[in-house]
Amino acid sequence: MEASSRIVLDDGRVLTRCDQCRQMFAERKPPGVPDCGKLCPVEARVLREENEEAARIYQLVRGQVIVAGETVIDLNFVAVKTVMDLYGVADQRGVFEKVRKAFYHFEQKRRDEK
């Protein structure tokens, strides 16, 4: 079952939330495959409409980080601002805070998995 939420890219391709999840797992080090039946939050809860814009921005910038050696220090705030400008985000402060919360949440999960 593919998640109902979709992002339409500029080139016309459509990414479902499931596509995004698979991509996120594939980009991990080491790469992985999501256990959709066990881990999928899409089945349990649907992303609320007011969070979709922040989720899109997060998906685009989640790899834009500041590092020291191999340690991730923080999200690159300039990258977040640039992408929000490119996508015409009106409530940039609100979206920025949501993107930061998502980044810190997933970064902590990544650190805990090490």
Annotated domain spans of the chain: 1-47, 49-114
Predicted pLDDT at 93: 97
Predicted pLDDT at 1: 39
Pull the structure tokens for residue 61: 């910038």
| Per-residue pLDDT tens listing for the chain (114 residues) | 344 566 777 787 777 777 888 888 899 889 888 777 666 655 444 567 788 899 889 989 999 999 999 899 999 999 999 999 999 999 999 999 999 999 999 888 888 887
Q: Residue count of the chain, please give it.
A: 114
Helix (H, G, I), strand (E, B) or coil at 7: strand
Is the bond leading into 30 cis (omega within 30 degrees of zero)?
Answer: yes
Is pTM, for the whole model, over 0.85?
no
Predicted pLDDT at 3: 45
- Count the helices and strands in the chain (H runs, E runs): 6, 4
